[in-house]
Amino acid sequence: MIVKHNKNEFEDYLVDASSYEGFADELIIPENVDEIKQILKEATVKSHKITISGAGTGLTGSRVPLGGKILSMERFNRILNFDRERKTLKVESFVRIEEIANYLAGSGLFYPPNPTEKLSTIGGNIGNNASGARTYKYGSTRKYINKIDVVLPTGESLTIKRGEIFANGYNFEFCTNGGTLISFELPKVQMPKVKHAAGYYIEQNMDLIDLFIGAEGTLGVVTGAELQLLDSPEEVLGAIVFFDSHDGMFDFLSEIKKTDEIISPRLIEFFDDNSIMLLRGTIPHIPKTTVYALWIEIETSKEKSDETLTNLYLFTSQFTSLVDDTWVALNEAEHKRLAHFRHELPLAVYEKIHQYKQQKLGTDSAVPNEFVKEYYEYMVNLFKQEQLEYVIWGHIGNSHFHANILTKNEDEFRRAKDVYVDILRRAVSLGGTISAEHGIGKLKKEYLKILYSEEIIDGFRKIKEAFDSKNVLNDGNIF
């Protein structure tokens, strides 16, 4: 176990990718599960605050400490077992998504969740039920977690296998590995029927493992997990399709979701007109009349790749006159070119934020598919009405937008916050969520009240209390 008290030695652990900053008295780097048990047991006895620290790629301040001690999981970075027959991979919690992809390369299997941030870890992904572009076809992290190993705030351990421990209606009762009985009642909440990562996952007769996935480290420390893998597709056709009209793009989006037998994408990513304008600075050859762009990937085979490409062109030609300008990828180098198009955008936005010296405001909201066009137009009208600079991109296949508001001064920032709240309220009124993939953390907990009543949030607190009666673990996350 490594312990550091000199704050100059752990400054990097006091922030995350949101630039939210915290403070702490001590950094602890355990090297095995027994040390974590000892740390948490002592913390509970002495009521010391412990904040779990992962890779720091989060955008909600979840790993940022507000006092107490930092528990870094960085030594839990081993891939433990690859079972090709069962198509599973056992890893420790600090193994990064990029490392998993590299390890599985050439194996014929892959791990479907693909968060944009490839340096994020499995522990962090479990903490906020991370997703990504391929969620459109494959779903989020939750679907691919077979088992987790957890150390509870009391220092006791819990091994949770999917399909073994279920709620009786809305009531849980089970024992830790050491035999301690834990029981509590779930709040009776109707979660949004969209891609969703705000607050605890609640469902009648639910599996216990799903409560921990998306709990943002508030119930226990995940030390390892068994991941479910799938067979790799034989070929993947990638394309960036350019649209020269607003209605054309939304009509395309509506129709492609109805015609899975012709074109069945695994991802559909959106770039608005302001995104295109920013990207022109670093990426040439974007068609001049482009209004919007979509990045699409379609799984196919070597035999059918030409047919798949033809079908895509014929289908696309109904909705844009720029079909001949479509960028296509069939090999690794070409796929990297399309991924570069997507990854350059956040960098360009961060440069703007740095230039304006204001805090970024970015939505993570999603709505039911039937409202995607209405919701997008609502956001744009608000931004234009308030004369705010904005850039919108995101996982439009799941009707999930990242609307980034770029403010130049305090007055704009104040108005932008009001607009931000209005946008979240609109999402909820349409049956959507305030957070589809990034979670709540510390930065967005004030907005949880837009989605849930105080009674429901109090129900979340009672779940937390059942595992962590002294509130020592990840204090400040979610509520």
Beta strands in 281-333 (DSSP E): 292-300, 327-329
CA neighbor of 363 nearest in space, from 377, 379, 352, 347: 379
Whether 159 shows a pLDDT value over 80: the answer reads yes
CA neighbor of 132 nearest in space, from 116, 111, 112: 116
Judge whether 153 and 470 are in contact, CB under 8 Å: yes
Concatenated DSSP letters of 391-426:
EEEEEGGGTEEEEEEE-SSHHHHHHHHHHHHHHHHH
Judge whether 179 and 157 are in contact, CB under 8 Å: no
> What value, to the nearest 5°, has the Cα angle with vertex 216 and ends 78 and 15?
80
How far are the Cα atoms of 63, 116, 265, 326, 367 from residue 148, in angstroms, in the given order?
A: 20, 23, 31, 43, 30
CATH of domain 235-429: 3.40.462.40
| pLDDT for res 258 | 82
- Can you name the residues that pair with 242 across neighbouring β-strands? 293
Q: Quick one: pLDDT band at residue 261, thresholds 50, 70, 90? A: low
Upper half-sphere CA count for residue 251 (Cβ side, 13 Å): 12
Options 3.30.9.10, 3.30.43.10, 1.10.600.10, 3.40.50.1100; which CATH number does 2-72 get? 3.30.43.10
- Helices 246-256 and 305-316: crossing angle in degrees, nearest 10, is 140
Summarised one tens digit per residue, pLDDT across range 294-337 is: 999 999 999 999 999 999 999 999 999 999 999 999 998 999 88
> What value, to the nearest 5°, has the Cα angle with vertex 146 and ends 144 and 148?
115
CA gap 335, 455 in Å, rounded:
48
CA gap 423, 430 in Å, rounded:
11
Judge whether 239 and 326 are in contact, CB under 8 Å: yes
Judge whether 129 and 122 are in contact, CB under 8 Å: no
Q: Quick one: pLDDT band at residue 353, thresholds 50, 70, 90? A: confident
Q: Quick one: pLDDT band at residue 260, thresholds 50, 70, 90? A: low
244 DSSP assignment: S
Output the average pLDDT for the chain.
95
CATH of domain 79-231+463-467: 3.30.465.10
| pLDDT for res 344 | 87
* Higher per-residue confidence, 339 vs 36: 36
Summarised one tens digit per residue, pLDDT across range 221-235 is: 999 999 999 999 999
Domains 2-72 and 79-231+463-467 share a fold: no
Q: What is the mean pLDDT of residues 232-243?
A: 96
Q: Where are the domains of the chain?
A: 2-72, 79-231+463-467, 235-429
Q: Compute how many other C-beta atoms are within 10 angstroms of the C-beta atom of residue 339.
A: 15
